[in-house]
Chain A
Amino acid sequence: MKYMLLIYGNEALFESIPEETLAEVIRDTDALHAELRASGEFVGAWGVADQAQAKTVRLEDGAPAVTDGPYLEAKEYLGSFDIVDCDSLERALEIAARVPFARIGPVEVRPLMSESAPEV
């Protein structure tokens, strides 16, 4: 079962992280990813570029119209996400608690939809 672990934050939160803590979080994140690779549970991990770089596309009368900025004007925004493939929700929650960023802010866990049959 695949789960997405999403890290949210806001400007104030991200900017308040001391340099040494940031370095530690990055180092520990690399270590966690290596561990998940070794356990056969790692699918991928991506950082999302700053929302200053976000574009939003809408169709207006069938023609695409592009605006700068994210769709949701929220204070909290997506910073990065991991995808893991593990045996149970309990295990996904355990991994989420070990995401180094969890020391700073919340980690949201979402099951991913699959194309498998519900059951025969």
Chain B
Amino acid sequence: MRADTGTEDLLRRLAPQVLGALVRRYGHFDACEDAVQEALLAASVQWPHQGRPDDPRAWLITVAARRLTDQLRSDEARRRREDTTAARAPDRALVAAAAEEGHPGEQDDTLRLLFMCCHPALSPPSQLALTLRAVGGLTTAEIARAFLVPEPTMAQRISRAKQRIRAEGASFDLPEGEHADRLDVVLHALYLMFNEGYVASSGPDLQRHDLTVEAIRLTRAVRDLLPGDGEVAGLLALMLLTDARRAARSGPDGGLVPLTDQDRSRWDREAIDEGVALISHTLASTARLGPYQLQAAIAAVHDEAPTAEATDWPQIVALYELLERVSANPMARLNHAVAVAMVTGPQAGLDLLATLDDDSRIAGHHRLAAVRAHLHEMTGDRAAALAGYRDAARGTTSAPEQRYLLARAARMAGERSEDPDTP
């Protein structure tokens, strides 16, 4: 239980620095991670009463290191008792220690921790959980609440993830050649974290909203570490430009409001300005044009339109063409088809969708049915739209999306029965 938000923010910010310093000094990522959590807990209990130490970071490192050495010593004693041979020296430790008491390495350490938590041997849900704890400084209870599972379940998941990393023999220093690949995994994990929390803005969903906040905070941290990377900047811009619409994205009943119907006065101007500035600057200087940058650019075009009618659809079509060239992805083609429909007409959009019918990645996917229904609605074919919306509603496991699709279907059914031309 963390007492005040000031302390909580500070602890979350310091968590990866403290963990990084420990892992660098002692190795043993999993044991260090436990020790840091204990130190964070101790701080959250003691600081509000006894006051914050002059150097909170040093305090945490000292306490965590003490816990860790106690732990390693008792493990060592147990190993000796069990009469195993491998007498492991408890210290790569002492070698590296004193010299780097300063902070220059800590930034890189945070990045290394992210690379470790997003180890490809872990499933994405495990990557998210471990990242939130080791890099985000969240407690297991907080993470369990965000993912709606019991705390012991989440504790086990995190512990298994750490065991897995140890079994993989993951080293704190990533070989140079693997940097780019691993960064892609990290960005994908952050993207999933953002998406997981991107729901209605009130009530019981608030705790899940923490996931979006954390995702943005962590992506900002990565951006600070790699200011020259276009995709990192692109992802941060995409998150800012998407999150800017949060308040307008769901109606009073929690239902999804599509982009065209949103009350744009409720969009977060500050986030839009920051996102637009970031993506504009990035596109002008990037060496690596990638999917996050292009998706951010598309989001920026939407966010800059004062009304839905004023949207610069030709520019969006051009950006989707680029996106498909950079990374052919059937999900991108769905949105591409909508944009084409807005520029050339719904039939052109439907024609583009037809190219996906043989694509096994998406052929039976409910999103294809939903977009097709939307385009049928634009052509005035309400029967086809109704069938498509109902199909799509049956296929989704997202409750907000299902409510939206069913409402859409109900509207089609209503309009159909009022339409005298319909037999």
Query: How would you classify the secondary structure of chain B's contact residues: helix, strand, loop or mixed?
Result: helix
Which residues on the B side are within 8 Å of A40 (C-beta)?
126, 153-160
Assembly CA distance A119 to B194 (angstroms): 10
B401 & A118 in contact (Cβ 8 Å cutoff): yes
- Kindly state whether residue B123 has any CB partner on chain A within 8 Å: yes
Which residue of chain A has its CB nearest to the CB of B241?
A120
Question: Which of chain A's residues have a CB closer than 8 A to the CB of B242?
Answer: 120
> Please, how many angstroms separate the alpha-carbon atoms of A114 and B195 in the complex?
12
Q: Is the CB of A115 within 8 A of B154?
A: no
Count A-B contacts at CB 8 Å: 78
Partner-contacting stretch, out of B30-38, B83-91, B196-204 = B196-204
Cβ contact of A115, chosen from B123, B158, B199, cutoff 8 A: B199
Q: How far is the CB of A14 from chain B (nearest CB, A)?
A: 29
Looking at chain A's contact residues, the main secondary structure is loop
| Chain A residues in 8 Å Cβ range of B198 | 116-117, 120
| Distance A119 CA – B126 CA, assembled complex (angstroms) | 20
| Chain A CB within 8 A of B396 CB | yes
CB of A85 within 8 Å of the partner chain: yes
Residues of B within 8 A of A120 (CB): 194-195, 198, 238, 242
**A15-23, A41-49, A51-59, A100-108: which one contacts chain B?**
A41-49
Q: A42-B150, A85-B147, A120-B194 are in contact. Are A114 and B156 (CB under 8 A)?
A: no
**Chain B residues whose CB sits within 8 angstroms of the CB of A41 once the complex forms:** 153, 157
Which residues of A45-103 are within 8 A (CB) of B?
85, 87
CA distance A99 to B204 in the complex (A): 32
Tell me whether B149 and A115 are in contact (CB under 8 A): no
With A37-B156, A44-B150 known to touch, is A117 a contact of B396 (CB < 8 Å)? Answer: no
Interface size class of B (residues with CB under 8 A): 35 or more
- Cα distance A87–B126 when bound, in Å? 9
What is the number of residues of chain A that contact chain B, defined by CB distance less than 8 Å? 22
Please state if A85 and B196 are interface contacts (CB–CB under 8 Å). Answer: no
Asked whether A113 lies within 8 Å of B147 as measured between CB atoms, the reply is: no
3 nearest CB pairs, A to B: A40-B157, A40-B156, A118-B401
Supplied contacts A39-B160, A120-B242, 9 more A-B pairs, CB within 8 Å: A40-B126, A42-B153, A43-B148, A85-B147, A114-B397, A115-B204, A115-B400, A117-B195, A119-B367
27 A–B contacts, CB within 8 A, in A order = A1-B397, A2-B148, A37-B156, A39-B156, A40-B155, A40-B156, A40-B158, A40-B159, A40-B160, A41-B157, A42-B150, A42-B153, A43-B149, A85-B125, A85-B153, A87-B124, A112-B397, A113-B402, A115-B199, A115-B399, A115-B400, A116-B196, A116-B199, A116-B208, A118-B401, A119-B331, A120-B242
